[in-house]
Structure 1
């Protein structure tokens, strides 16, 4: 039974990623914050809310030149990740990510199953996003 639940959950996540992923080009990216890695944006048009105060949101980072040089990531332009935030518990989990090169090539999405929930630390990008979405 547990195996079936995991399989069904996996299919739901993959379907969600594929469905949401196709809408990223029409996304309404709102600026969130800048740090040493680069500029962070969230898709304000495709936010999902479910029972239990869970918010689903796409988060994008456009890497700074300095960060890419320091980390040896010259070809990488941006990363887009699908996150869930538990507004009640102030926790987050990453469901999937895709990386984009300067030339526009897209990596195959990485999907994490089962999702691993972690506490949202103070004064972080995710704390800023939590405050924006869990008002």
Structure 2
């Protein structure tokens, strides 16, 4: 059921602000997952050797690489299965293909890699009627309002 206030926007392309807020929410989800993994690994190490336990060092390069990998997997799975991540769900958005269909897994994977490697591509959707990011232009996808 679409809220009355949202009905005029249903199916229209989403703009920069809405997509950015969804992206921030998704980034928080990724950070929480990575931190939970870090705590889980250290908890397992503690259970295996409580006397000799020390927290593993969290260095930046492996941390960023792990977070990037988690983000790509999270985005790819969400976009290919339902067309929306948790951030998209909260903001009432859906990623669709050029004909309005759910994106295929390969397109979702390429879009996720593009999204993580080149996040500034989102800024392009601020201009123009199409509200298309670089990722949308290259892969022929769209982000629409879909409650």
Higher helix share: 2
Same fold (TM over 0.5): no
More contact order relative to length (CA 8 Å, sep ≥ 6): 2
Higher strand share: 1
For the aligned pair, the TM-score class normalised by the smaller chain equals: 0.3 to 0.5
Which protein has the larger Cα radius of gyration, Structure 1 or Structure 2? 2
TM-score relative to the length of structure 1: 0.34
